[in-house]
Amino acid sequence: MKTKTFFKLLLAASLTLAVAASAGAGELGMKAPALSITHWVKNGPVTLKDGVGEKIYVVETWATW
């Protein structure tokens, strides 16, 4: 791979990581924002208040780009 191409890819990756890190940055212990789900893959909506102190909910997110 040519050096110029390598540095272009490195710069693009660095900028992508910087934007991604600042966009959704939060701190440990802060409350999660409300979710707006348009399509549930399994079982349907969940009311988080019903499971407080009894259940653990896992929200898995991914992107196709």
Inform me whether the pLDDT recorded for 7 exceeds 80: no
Inform me whether the pLDDT recorded for 54 exceeds 80: yes
Q: What distance in Å separates the CA atoms of residue 52 and residue 62, rounded to the nearest whole number?
A: 25
| Extended beta strands in the chain, E state | none
pLDDT of amino acid 18: 65
Q: What distance in Å separates the CA atoms of residue 46 and residue 11, rounded to the nearest whole number?
A: 41
What pLDDT, in 10s, does the model give residues 21-45?
555 666 778 777 777 778 777 777 7
Residue 40, phi then psi, degrees to nearest 5: -90, 130
Q: What is the mean pLDDT of the chain?
A: 75
pLDDT of amino acid 23: 56
Domain boundaries, the chain: 3-51
- Report yes or no: 45 and 37 within 8 Å, Cβ to Cβ: yes
